[in-house]
Structure 1
Amino acid sequence: QRPLGVLRLSLTARCNLACPYCRPDGEEPPGLLTLEQRLRVIAAGVALGVNSLRLTGGEPLLHPQLTDLLQAVQPLRRDGLKDIALTSNGLLLTAQRAEALRAAGLDRLTLSLDGTTGASVAAMAGLADSAAGERALEQVLRAIEHARDAGFDPAQGALKLNAVIQKGRNDEQVLPLAQLCRERGLELRLIEYMDVGNRNGWQPADVVTAAEMVRTISERWPLEPQGRAGHSTANRWRYGDGQGSVAMVASVSQPFCGDCNRLRVTADGIAYTCLFAAPGSGVDLKPSLAASRDPADLQATLGQLWQERADRYSEERSTAAARPAAHAEMAYLGG
């Protein structure tokens, strides 16, 4: 009884960073979907109830057809598509690029930044040293302003900042990140370090829980709980002094499998119903996308996959028998 509502479509498995919690591939998988095939996947999703499209990667700004895809998908708004969002590390978001994305029909933009110092950014982005981290930090801060200038208004929820927090690596950055977002009028989304993929060496002891992060922030700026909207990934808190809000994505300590409405499609056309899926457990959509196939086949394939889903890994994480031997990689699944 979990209705389909969000399609997370990965455009590329490549990234221009090497964040240790993700560790993306250096090259694309074979058989990437074409622009026309991606449009067919989105249309089939909308026909099944998708009202929100999130374009992901890897780093989606690396994809040369991003703007073309945004423009081509606009007619689907007449069929029920209400919201188009993009998740990016922001390093490639120039003023011109931000304006082009807005003009092409992008509604929302979420940028990622895991620290406020060169050292913390370098540690969380897989960069060589603090100097490289400082350069990346400045690029992301400029990207925030480029996005704002292009019309992505944080006051309307159109511009947010993601940060993954890992114990012993950047947990001292919770308050500085909160301060940065309060100053810039952004909602900060703090994300628990997750056991996605097989390359990040995840251990439960490395997780800074949402409760810990809320306590840390609230000791400095008192927070008032706003709860979690239906199908949302985040619990939201409002600053008591009225200076914005902060959100917590707590898929480890406070799972939200029960109303998850997200379908993920990789850059090479494999559909998954869970971020923590085992490799090889997805459904290859390319046979249904073949030119000789009836267009209804694709919708039927997606519909069957969704109706048969039984995944709730985050709720079962503590049960050893529930853990797959391996997970599909985060960059492959769209984060």
Structure 2
Amino acid sequence: MIPLADRYGRRFPYLRLSITPVCNFRCTYCLPHGYHAETGVAGPLSLEEIARLLCGFAELGMHKLRITGGEPSVRHDLTDVLRTAAATPGVTSLAMTTNGTLLSRRLGEWMDAGLNAINVSVDSLDRAAFARITGHDRLDDILHGVEMALAAGLPAVKLNAVLLRGVNDQELPRWLDYLRDHAVGVRFIELMQTGDNLAFFRDHHVHAETLEDEICEQGWQALPRAADAGPAREYRHPGYAGRIGIIAPYSKDFCAGCNRLRVTATGDLRLCLFGEFGIPLRPLLQRDEQLDELVSAIGGQIGRKEQGHYLHLGRTGISPHLASTGG
């Protein structure tokens, strides 16, 4: 095993793999007009290509894997993808980010396939606001799926909420009521500018650090960052069963602890969510005998990873929206 490390000393044991760009929601901050397929674009990686890709990353020390989309549950073979991922030597954490529309129906088979962590997008606990944000009145069903995941003993259950000024940024009291007796982690995510949402970003961006200051004033205490943790700064409070995570990409030194790489649904390696180029790996996923070449190609690109993103300069890279790269 040759652990990946860049020129800034950061290691990358964490891969986020998109398995489809398709999403069945119309979230205002991502795909407000729904998903529309691009003509002439190759389809997502096959199960065989995914298996080879994961073997390559495992050779380079990847042990934490997150399956993303679009919405991964729109793939009919999602359970097979999870089973293949769980069987990859070295993978110890298999997570998925989902909008939760199939959670209550398919949780059992996903867990049987090896899923041991899940993040569910829940941008509001207010049913009407949730419907306005996502285009779907599904909050009750999704929260039922979350309850099922907790009851089933899924080791890690987290909820993601993108902060939107004037839409859901006054919901902290409601979330605190929820966290009092729900052992979940709620991650409040600062809205990020992407290639096609500038006007929306200007209207609705709110700094996540504002919320962070508020919870600290209420006695929430910061937790030490785990070596393989994601980007959230996590907090706990003795009076609550759940935890709070803050993802603030515009904060100072946000990228200093970066430990993850991304691969798009069509097999392009992205060194950063907001990077300005992709490296096509799909040609190296056609035969098992290409493993060494794949490992060499991935390792050879890590030196091109920048020290940080350039969001503060308005440079959003080549991703038109979050669904295109897996958030």
Give the TM interval when normalised to the shorter protein.
0.7 to 0.9
Counterpart among 5, 11, 26 of residue 36 in structure 2: 26
Counterpart among 187, 190, 194 of residue 189 in structure 1: 187
Structure 1 stretch displaced more, 226-235 or 11-20: 226-235
Aligned residue number for residue 301 of structure 2? 305
Q: How does 1:86-125 map to 2 (within 5 A)?
A: 86-95=96-105, 97-125=106-134
Aligned residue number for residue 266 of structure 1? 264
2:160 is paired with a residue whose SS is strand
Could you tell me how far apart the structure 1 residues matched to 2:235 and 2:177 are? 15
Could you tell me how far apart the structure 1 residues matched to 2:223 and 2:101 are? 32
AA matched with 1:215: D
Could you tell me how far apart the structure 1 residues matched to 2:241 and 2:143 are? 19
- Report the identity percentage: 32
Deviation of 1:255 after TM superposition, in Å, equals 4.3
What TM-score, normalized by structure 2, do the two folds share?
Answer: 0.88
Deviation of 1:199 after TM superposition, in Å, equals 3.4
Query: Are 1:151 and 2:153 counterparts?
Result: yes
Q: How does 1:316-335 map to 2 (within 5 A)?
A: 316-319=310-313, 323=315, 327-335=319-327
Q: Deviations over 1:150-195 (max 9, x none)?
A: 3314xxxx11111111112211223212322333222211111111
Query: Are 1:17 and 2:25 counterparts?
Result: yes
Aligned residue number for residue 164 of structure 1? 162
Please list every run of at least 4 consecutive aligned residues from structure 1 whose deviation after the TM superposition is greater than 4 angstroms: none
Could you tell me how far apart the structure 1 residues matched to 2:290 and 2:230 are? 34
Flag the 1:200–1:272 CA change in 2: closer, same or farther, 3 A: same
Flag the 1:188–1:292 CA change in 2: closer, same or farther, 3 A: closer
Aligned residue number for residue 68 of structure 2? 56
Deviation of 1:242 after TM superposition, in Å, equals 4.8
Counterpart among 15, 27, 40 of residue 7 in structure 1: 15
AA matched with 1:194: M
Could you tell me how far apart the structure 2 residues matched to 1:60 and 1:327 are? 18
Deviation of 1:329 after TM superposition, in Å, equals 2.6
1:114 is paired with a residue whose SS is coil
1:139 is paired with a residue whose SS is helix
Flag the 1:162–1:197 CA change in 2: closer, same or farther, 3 A: same
Could you tell me how far apart the structure 1 residues matched to 2:91 and 2:210 are? 37
Could you tell me how far apart the structure 1 residues matched to 2:116 and 2:98 are? 14
Could you tell me how far apart the structure 2 residues matched to 1:266 and 1:191 are? 21
AA matched with 1:111: V
Flag the 1:215–1:13 CA change in 2: closer, same or farther, 3 A: same
Could you tell me how far apart the structure 2 residues matched to 1:12 and 1:244 are? 31
Q: Deviations over 1:239-293 (max 9, x none)?
A: 1425432111111224421221211111111110111123xx1011122223497
Q: How does 1:30-45 map to 2 (within 5 A)?
A: 30-45=42-57
Query: Are 1:234 and 2:232 counterparts?
Result: yes
Deviation of 1:111 after TM superposition, in Å, equals 0.8
Runs of 5+ consecutive residues of structure 1 not aligned to the other structure: none
What TM-score, normalized by structure 1, do the two folds share?
Answer: 0.86
Counterpart among 282, 287, 309 of residue 286 in structure 1: 282
Could you tell me how far apart the structure 2 residues matched to 1:119 and 1:292 are? 50
Deviation of 1:92 after TM superposition, in Å, equals 1.4
Structure 1 stretch displaced more, 46-55 or 254-263: 254-263
AA matched with 1:18: R
AA matched with 1:222: G
Could you tell me how far apart the structure 1 residues matched to 2:21 and 2:78 are? 14
1:8 is paired with a residue whose SS is strand
Could you tell me how far apart the structure 2 residues matched to 1:311 and 1:205 are? 29
